[in-house]
Amino acid sequence: MSISIRSPRDFCAGLIFLFFGTLAAYIARDYPMGSAVRMGPGYFPYVLGILLALLGVVVCIKSLLMHGERIESASLRALSLVLGAVGAFAGTIEGFGIVIATALLVGIGAAASPESRPREVAVLIAFLLALAVGVFTYGLGLPFRIFPV
Amino acid sequence: MELLANLQLGFDVALTLQNVLYCFLGVLLGTLIGVLPGIGPVATIAMLLPATFALPPVSALIMLAGIYYGAQYGGSTTAILVNLPGEASSVVTCLDGYAMAQQGRAGPALAVAALGSFFAGTVATLILVLFAPPLAEVAFKFGPAEYFSLMVLGLIAAIVLARGSLIKAIAMILLGLLLGLIGADTNTGQFRFTFGLPQLADGIGFVVVAMGMFGFSEIIANIERRARREVVMAKITSLFPTREDLKASWKAVLRGTGIGALLGILPGGGATLGSFAAYTLEKKVAKDPSRFGKGAIEGVAGPESANNAGAQTSFIPLLTLGIPANAVMALMVGAMTIHGITPGPQVMTERPELFWGMIASMWIGNLLLVVLNLPLIGIWVKLLSVPYRILYPAILLFACIGVYSLNNSAIDVALALAFGFLGYLFIKLDCEPAPLLLGFVLGPMMEENLRRALLLSRGDPTVFVTRPLSLTLLVVAAALLIIVVVPAVRKKREEAFQE
């Protein structure tokens, strides 16, 4: 019998768990372990990391033995544009102010949907800009810079 | 009687103009997001948390609680009218609710859902009033060992009740616990997992994780699913249920309330589980189970009562023990902490006005919901015609502003982005994010209590089994775990979640 991955979803999930578990245990090794009476900061995360890594291995092995569903294809457009929009907001809010950050966020974000229409997006940006400046900045008094200085 | 005096105090607080207003605002917003599919209570509460900073703590908590149970309510409207569950807890309502709507009986379905929910909400409020004080009494006897065991029980319950694979749920909890440890260790000041970034010294904010995993990743997944959504709206002719409808549903309401209230108290429970269990129960006790799925009114009345009862009783572990039972309650912990309140049994004695005010406001909120929902149903339905492509950029903006304004930190927004990516990955890999969030909140508390317990016992690990309360909690946890591993029960569990 040849070994093949029968449940791709579980196999990938197992790898992720294995990765984070190993990483956590590896980093936690450098923190003082202490003793059972006086636990050091390394003790709890080290144990958790080992457990997580072990579970990752179990999930991986199970995925070789039991059939499971395939991973649905991901929409790279939705993923990259939504996260890109959030990234643009994070990158511009402090240096360039709320107006530019909002326009970028809504503009890039709206393009993530295959149904998006340019004219609608323009109206939406205008509306949300008014909201961000009027309600959030002036109304609620959130400390945003409005325009780049 | 002390109880009446307490209730009196609660209503005095809750009935001030300001608090009624915030309660109204909360249930209104809750209904709104409940009606709109694709944004859940976790993301909404996370989004609105910064807006409540300026409010007095009582008003803030009243409003946030209103959002939660309002959302359970609103979710049923869309489930019945357009076969789209607005919230996870109304998934089962679609089955018979939409079938009724197709037969032209949308009105009675909505009315029964609303009245059942109101009844369930009233009973659940009473349960809170009756059982919270004695439970808090017990909680005062809790030492670190008991708290640790209780959290173990809570996490195990969360695993048992999670959908999908058990092992993956455990792994998600462990990952959550680890993420919760990021930052400076409280006992020694040692920086853990900060990768040299000073912004991580205080740990990752709870809202950041919640927004990433429940907000951003859901939006991406929703945009993908867009294609196969079409809204065919059922007409509402009359709201009034017939005598037969009422006769058929009152028992279902009672059963749903009971089962929902019970499951809501359990750690890891909450509204969703109750509605699934109630539906299964109704099908079991029905004389003719084949009617279900074809418009049986019990299939609406039971689950709808259950989810509302569960939403309310899930406040019990939070208010009495300080332990959040689900992701929404974990957010409430965050909200309380921001207002300088440590959740736990001492809230009842130190801040009685807050405790009883919040409980009283729940009943008022439920009343407001009936008023808000039945006559205004047309408005909510209209909202559904706003296309998602217009809705989600606005949600994105509110989410970003919400995350940013928590600490005025752009790094937080970037971190939420990273969690959005991780959350999306987990959606694709069929891993439930809720256990991770629970682990994230409990992580630091668990470590702290474990350390303290062992320090007090001078390193003797038997402390967890020699103290009777702690032992009981652990035995219950072990029993739960054994039950799900037994093959017969396991099959049942899968069946229950499939329906």
CB-CB contact of A18 with B434 (8 Å): no
Residue B267 in this model has a pLDDT that exceeds 70: no
Q: Please judge whether B220 and A79 are an interchain contact, meaning their C-beta atoms are less than 8 angstroms apart.
A: yes
Q: What percentage of chain A exceeds 70 in pLDDT?
A: 97
3-class SS of residue B187: coil
**Sorting pLDDT into bands at 50, 70 and 90, what band is B228?**
very low
* φ, ψ of residue A37 in degrees (nearest 5): -70, -45
Residue B330 in this model has a pLDDT that exceeds 90: no
Interface contact A18, partner B, CB < 8 A: no
Residue of A nearest to B424 (CA): A79
CB-CB contact of B375 with A116 (8 Å): no
Interface contact B225, partner A, CB < 8 A: no
Q: Which residue in B397, B410, B414 is closest to A128 by CB distance?
A: B397
Count of pairs with CB atoms under 8 A, one residue in A, one in B: 181
Residue B189 in this model has a pLDDT that exceeds 50: yes
Q: Please judge whether A113 and B416 are an interchain contact, meaning their C-beta atoms are less than 8 angstroms apart.
A: no
Q: Please judge whether B455 and A37 are an interchain contact, meaning their C-beta atoms are less than 8 angstroms apart.
A: yes
User: CB-based burial of residue B166 (10 Å sphere; 0-12 exposed, 13-18 middle, 19+ buried)?
Assistant: middle
User: CB-based burial of residue B349 (10 Å sphere; 0-12 exposed, 13-18 middle, 19+ buried)?
Assistant: exposed
State the DSSP code for B192.
E
Closest among B337, B348, B275 to B307, alpha carbons compared: B275
Q: Please judge whether B178 and A32 are an interchain contact, meaning their C-beta atoms are less than 8 angstroms apart.
A: no
Closest among B354, B293, B314 to B103, alpha carbons compared: B293
Q: Please judge whether B220 and A75 are an interchain contact, meaning their C-beta atoms are less than 8 angstroms apart.
A: yes
**Sorting pLDDT into bands at 50, 70 and 90, what band is B31?**
confident
Q: Which residues of A touch B181 (CB under 8 A)?
A: 44-45, 48
CB contact residues (below 8 A), chain A span 43-82, against chain B:
44-45, 48-49, 51-52, 55-56, 58-59, 62, 69, 71-72, 74-75, 78-79, 82
CB contact residues (below 8 A), chain A span 77-136, against chain B:
78-79, 82-83, 85-87, 89-91, 93-94, 101-102, 105-106, 109-110, 112-117, 120-121, 124, 128, 131-132, 136
How close A99 comes to chain B (CA, Å)? 12
Q: Please judge whether A91 and B408 are an interchain contact, meaning their C-beta atoms are less than 8 angstroms apart.
A: no
Mean pLDDT of A80-92: 95
Distance separating alpha carbons of residues B260 and B267, to the nearest angstrom: 13
Mean pLDDT of B278-297: 84
Question: How does the average pLDDT of chain B come out, rounded?
Answer: 83
Mean pLDDT of B31-51: 78
pTM for the full model?
0.83
Instruction: Supply the pLDDT for residue A136.
Output: 79
**In this predicted model, what pLDDT tens digit does every residue of A31-71 receive, in sequence order?**
888 877 778 888 899 999 999 999 999 999 988 888 877 88
